[in-house]
């Protein structure tokens, strides 16, 4: 699904709908991204990095919504989240319990690989459910071939090293990946608002879709469908979309306002009106 017209140019397009209130992060930290080697673009979306330097005792909280994607990150400095904190090389699995919270302190940085949804299985057909809502040491996945922790914390400088590492893993397409990608493409259509509609448009049974999404995304198809629409709503609000909340909900496929509010709150922890009020000073 795609948000409407872009009303601003300051925020990288890929942050809309993924980072909550991206302008707040960009005002406090340096963000960079770089594309992968063309031989990897089927499975890897991009490389990204964030660097920051805060005063002693200062804490900055940032929240992301994923779609969901698997991330490998090299982290140094003041990075804190539930279960894992500080320097290391990590794999973060699909998020299924709302937003992903990170607190930044002191001086530090992160450089990461954002795999396309379903793309990570080309580098090893693992059980994504085992890392759902978890961050684990990357060595648990990649063993001794895990990237070094001294990787440059800048996406553009690290890109060539990450390219070489990923290509050395000899990625290959597992069976079922073409069907999963087709389902993802259909999911982009704004008129696909239910699992039944997705099944009809793809020609697959609901059971087949559920199996594909569990294997390649690590979360259920219905959850991902709702998340995709909420991410579109978040992106629209952050871009300054002039539509009312009622019109926005209707245009994105919700049939009534209470369901829109419920789904939005489930994914973001806030109501649409509350998010818009804090985000751009518009009354709910």
| Beta-bridge partner residues of 135 | 92
| Beta-bridge partner residues of 44 | 115
What is the CB neighbour count within 10 angstroms for residue 175? Answer: 7
Token pair of 231 as six digits: 């991410």
**pLDDT, one tens digit for every residue, the chain (284 residues):** 333 333 333 688 888 877 888 888 899 999 999 999 999 999 999 999 999 999 998 999 988 876 678 999 999 999 988 767 778 999 998 887 777 888 999 999 999 999 999 999 999 878 898 888 889 999 988 988 899 889 999 999 999 999 999 999 999 999 999 999 999 999 888 778 788 999 999 999 999 999 999 999 998 888 888 888 888 888 888 888 889 999 988 888 888 888 899 988 888 888 998 988 875 544 43
Please report, for the chain, the start and end positions of each structural domain, with discontinuous segments joined by +: 13-168, 177-280
Q: Please tell me the pTM assigned to this model.
A: 0.83
Q: Tell me, what's the pLDDT at 255?
A: 83
- The residue among 273, 216, 215 whose CA lies nearest residue 244 is 273
Rounded to an integer, what is the distance from CA 208 to the centroid of its chain?
24
Q: Tell me, what's the pLDDT at 34?
A: 96
Look at residue 91 and give its three-state secondary structure.
strand
Q: Which option is the CATH number for 177-280: 3.40.50.720, 1.10.10.60, 1.10.3300.10, 1.10.357.10?
A: 1.10.10.60
| Beta-bridge partner residues of 84 | 81
Q: 13-168 adopts what CATH topology?
A: Jelly Rolls (2.60.120)
What is the CB neighbour count within 10 angstroms for residue 70? Answer: 25
């Amino acid at each position: 699904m795609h948000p409407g017209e872009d009303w601003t140019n300051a925020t990288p397009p890929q942050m809309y709908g993924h980072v909550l209130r991206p302008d707040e992060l960009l005002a406090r930290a340096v963000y960079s991204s770089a594309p992968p080697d063309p031989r990897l673009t089927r499975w890897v979306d991009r490389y990204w990095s964030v660097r920051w330097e805060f005063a002693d005792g200062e804490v900055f909280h940032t929240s992301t919504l994923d779609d969901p994607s698997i991330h490998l990150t090299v982290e140094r400095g003041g990075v804190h989240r539930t279960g894992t904190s500080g320097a290391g090389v990590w794999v973060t699995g699909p998020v299924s319990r709302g937003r992903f919270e990170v607190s930044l302190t002191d001086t530090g940085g992160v450089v990461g690989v954002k795999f396309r949804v379903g793309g990570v299985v080309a580098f090893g057909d693992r059980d994504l459910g085992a890392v759902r809502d978890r961050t684990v040491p990357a060595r648990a996945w990649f063993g001794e071939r895990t990237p070094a922790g001294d990787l440059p914390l800048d996406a553009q400088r690290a890109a060539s090293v990450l390219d070489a590492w990923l290509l050395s893993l000899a990625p290959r397409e597992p069976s079922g990946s073409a069907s999963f990608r087709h389902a993802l493409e259909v999911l982009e259509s704004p008129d696909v608002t239910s699992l039944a509609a997705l099944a009809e448009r793809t020609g697959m049974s609901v059971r087949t879709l559920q199996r594909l999404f569990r294997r390649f995304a690590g979360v259920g198809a219905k959850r991902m469908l709702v998340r995709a629409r909420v991410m579109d709503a978040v992106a629209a609000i952050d871009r300054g979309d002039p539509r009312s909340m009622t019109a926005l909900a209707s245009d994105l496929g919700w049939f009534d306002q209470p369901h829109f509010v419920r789904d939005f709150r489930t994914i973001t922890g806030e109501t649409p009106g509350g998010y818009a009020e804090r985000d751009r000073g518009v009354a709910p």
